């Protein structure tokens, strides 16, 4: 095999391994080799070889029963390193957004079945919204979750949405929610009007970091104050999102 053939083969293996890792990222409960093979459209024997190599590097692990494959501890370590980098790079933008509005500004990441809060700059009002770093917010009722879902194609967003509805025993209406996501894509901004927490409304927008992970910046405001300043929040949030997107695309 020539050097160029070996190079192409190596690139193909990396691409296949990445596809397997992405599938496992979206199925945190674990998957069998057959399920993985079906999702990535590869022969089971090929998936078994790649998974074996990933296991040797602790990028994936087998469950105690050996029936399912999940992301491994090395992925978590790599993810943590990326997370702190994103937090550092977004901190100034969050601080400036909070200062201009006097409201809380949040940074979260789409991870598995929810939005995980990575950073927050509290507002200056006595009545303000506070969430702890590490808190997990739902996807379908929060501004940051909806904004993140809108960055996904419907084929990827729908399973996440319907799984959340099933857990919450919520009546499913995918066509209506798909229309909402289409509207968010057109506007670039998502809204939560007392839908996640009564008394708190929010606007949020999403972006991808250099690794392709989806993050969101959101501004939650007590609803009585939100109604009078919604337009200002949207203008300032759009400006911040534009700067952040330029930063990560550079």
Q: Which of 121, 122, 126, 117 is nearest to 196 (CA)?
A: 117
pLDDT in tens, 164-209: 999 988 899 999 999 999 999 999 999 999 998 899 999 999 999 9
Domains in the chain, please, with CATH? Answer: 3-71 (1.10.10.10), 76-249 (3.30.450.40)
Query: Sign of dihedral through CA atoms 241, 248, 118, 24?
Result: positive
Residue 217 · residue 204 · CB < 8 Å: yes
At 64, the pLDDT band (50, 70, 90 cuts) reads low
What percent of the chain has pLDDT above 90? 62
Residue ranges in the chain assigned as alpha helix (H): 3-25, 33-40, 44-56, 73-101, 143-150, 154-168, 174-187, 223-249
Q: Which of 42, 73, 163 is nearest to 62 (CA)?
A: 73
Q: Would you call 224 exposed, middle or buried from its count of C-beta atoms within 10 A (0-12, 13-18, 19+)? A: exposed
For residues 127-135, give the mean pLDDT: 70
pTM of the model: 0.69
Residue 214 · residue 208 · CB < 8 Å: yes
Two structure tokens written together for 243: 């700067």
Residue 25: pLDDT over 70: yes
pLDDT in tens, 214-229: 999 999 999 999 999 9
pLDDT in tens, 76-130: 777 766 666 899 999 999 999 999 999 999 999 998 889 999 999 998 877 666 6
Strand-pair category, 60-62 with 69-71? antiparallel
């Amino acid at each position: 095999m020539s050097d160029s053939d070996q190079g192409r083969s190596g690139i193909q293996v990396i691409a296949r391994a990445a596809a397997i890792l992405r599938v496992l990222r979206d199925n945190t409960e674990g998957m069998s080799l057959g399920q993985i093979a079906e999702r990535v459209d590869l022969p089971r024997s090929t998936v078994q070889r790649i998974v074996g190599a990933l296991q040797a590097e602790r990028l994936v692990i087998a469950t105690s029963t050996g029936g399912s494959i999940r992301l491994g501890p090395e992925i978590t370590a790599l993810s943590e390193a990326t997370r702190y980098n994103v937090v550092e790079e977004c901190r100034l933008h969050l601080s400036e957004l909070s200062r201009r509005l006097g409201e809380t500004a949040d940074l979260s990441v789409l991870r598995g079945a929810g939005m995980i809060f990575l950073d927050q700059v509290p507002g200056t009002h006595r009545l303000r919204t506070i969430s702890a770093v590490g808190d997990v917010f739902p996807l379908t009722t929060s501004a940051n979750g909806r904004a993140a879902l809108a960055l996904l194609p419907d084929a990827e967003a729908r399973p996440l949405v319907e799984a959340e509805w099933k857990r919450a025993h919520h009546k499913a209406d995918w066509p209506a929610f798909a229309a909402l996501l289409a509207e968010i894509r057109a506007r670039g901004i998502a809204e939560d009007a007392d839908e996640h927490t009564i008394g708190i409304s929010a606007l949020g927008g999403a972006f991808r970091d250099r690794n392709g992970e989806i993050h969101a910046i959101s501004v939650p405001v007590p609803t009585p104050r939100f109604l009078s300043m919604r337009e200002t929040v949207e203008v300032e949030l759009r400006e911040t999102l534009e700067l952040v997107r330029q930063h990560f695309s550079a």
